[in-house]
Amino acid sequence: MTIKTAFASLFLALLAGAATAQQAPTRPVAVQDKTQPSPRLNPTAENADRLSGQMARDLRLNGYQTAKARAINADKLAKMAAIQRKNAGNQKMIDEQCNGVCKERDKEFQDFLSTDQYSAYYNSRSSYNKMGRDYASNSASILLSDAVQNPAPSRANDASIGPASTKPVNRPAGNLGRNAR
């Protein structure tokens, strides 16, 4: 009887172990929000985060100030990108309107930065403005959207490129050895 009891207890232990092994711990599945643009598709927001991170390090911003800076930079860099798209080719107009956007940003930063932080920001704002403008002017998404909205002719005679003509495949005539049937 002891062998049967030992075998039965071993069998029950294996069953209990198998039952607990099959129950995996449940973790909530993170659902991706499809309504928000991904950073890959929205490089302006990614640049705003990069610029805000640089400002947070340089100016020693706290969490509240960093969040405000991110929101302001995202708004202003989106405006600069729109100005770049709208006035492509007219650099004087771009500079004039971007300076207005930068002045708006200066006023908004003055509201929540301390006096020392704002003076440090004011001293280095030209580099911050340059970072925003350079990225807005070189952004691949801006160039792509501009190219899609206003396609330029591919040649000087205003001809456009169409689908390439297909060339017939050259096949040797005759028996090709093992491939022949």
- Per-residue confidence (pLDDT) for residue 140, from 0 to 100: 47
- Per-residue confidence (pLDDT) for residue 153, from 0 to 100: 55
Query: What own/partner pairs with CB < 8 Å and gap ≥ 24 does 138-142 have?
Result: 139/43, 139/44, 139/47, 139/81, 139/84, 140/43, 141/41, 141/42, 141/43, 141/44, 142/81, 142/84, 142/85
The verdict on pTM exceeding 0.75 is no
DSSP letters for 54-100: HHHHHHT--HHHHHHHHHHHHHHHHHHHHHHHHTTT-HHHHHHHHHH
Q: What is the pLDDT along the chain (181 residues), one digit of tens a residue?
A: 577 787 777 666 666 665 555 555 555 555 655 565 555 556 677 788 888 888 999 999 999 999 999 999 999 888 888 888 888 778 889 889 988 998 999 999 999 999 999 999 999 888 887 877 666 555 545 555 555 655 655 555 655 555 555 665 666 666 666 665 5
- Per-residue confidence (pLDDT) for residue 34, from 0 to 100: 58
